[in-house]
Amino acid sequence: MLTLTPHTDSIHVLCLGAHPDDIEIGCGGTMLGLAERPGTRFTSLVLTGDDQREQESTKALQRLAPHIETHFARLIDGRLPAQWQETKDALERLGADCRPDVIFAPRVDDAHQDHRLVGQLASTVWRDAVILHYEIAKWDGDMGAPNTFVGLSVAHAREKVDVLNACFPSQVDREWWDDEAFLGLMRLRGIECRAQYAEAFYSSKLLLDLGTGG
């Protein structure tokens, strides 16, 4: 484990999701922790969703990170690869002015085509940020072996689940949506990094500034 003392400077966090609830499921607990860090700024972009789903996600994101700047592209759910140009344009428009330090995005090998495309395009728009690709459990059975972990307190793990249930009434009847699934995955990832709970990520490239002047 490598523990780095946080800088006093502000940190800008960008969260990318293909669908409303992707961000909240994939890195909601980590957002809660980062929101407690002085000087953290949050921006989010969700590529698909209608009025109801946009309202749900906005409410959830604001509970996880008050004062977050939210953006929605309103593309068609399940069809992002067919809307490659529109997806790329939405990311590039945000990237013109948004230069984050850390990005949370879907996995580049996610079984869902919308997730996968957003994850793959993130590094083509933001080349200097640390990109951490989050995981979302699904019926495809595409879970892997992540290489980056963020330990979560019991309070943050349970608050994340509370936010999901309270803010996404359109999703609570889905077969994969329940407290056991959300807490169980966080508990499993916690075991893997010797924490009570954790969220796990994939990073293909990570540059560490250890303060040595190199």
Contact 29, 186 (CB under 8 A): yes
* CA–CA distance, 189 with 207 (Å, rounded to integer): 23
Whole-number pLDDT of residue 213: 61
pLDDT along the chain (214 residues), means of 10: 59 97 98 93 97 98 98 97 98 97 97 98 95 96 96 98 98 94 98 98 85 64
- Strands (E) in the chain, as ranges, are 11-17, 40-48, 69-75, 102-106, 130-134, 148-152, 197-202
Nearest to 119 by CA among 95, 93, 150, 87: 87
Whole-number pLDDT of residue 214: 57
Laid out side by side, the sheet with 40-48 consists of 69-75, 40-48, 11-17, 102-106, 130-134, 197-202, 148-152
Whole-number pLDDT of residue 8: 54
Quick one: which H or E segment has residue 46?
strand 40-48
Q: Phi first, then psi: what are they for 74, rounded to 5°? A: 60, 35
Contact 93, 45 (CB under 8 A): no
Beta-carbon contacts of 24 under 8 Å, excluding residues fewer than 6 positions away, are 57, 60, 61, 64, 160, 163, 164, 167, 168
Whole-number pLDDT of residue 75: 98
According to DSSP, residue 68 is labeled -
- As given in the structure block, the two tokens for residue 2 are 């490598």
Domains and CATH numbers, the chain: 11-202 (3.40.50.10320)
Whole-number pLDDT of residue 212: 67
* CA–CA distance, 128 with 65 (Å, rounded to integer): 23
Beta-carbon contacts of 147 under 8 Å, excluding residues fewer than 6 positions away, are 201, 202, 203
Whole-number pLDDT of residue 19: 98
Q: What is the DSSP string of 74-127?
A: EE-TT-GGGGHHHHHHHHHHHHTT---SEEEEE-TT-SSHHHHHHHHHHHHH-S
Q: CB burial class (10 A; 0-12, 13-18, 19+) of residue 211?
A: exposed
Whole-number pLDDT of residue 10: 83
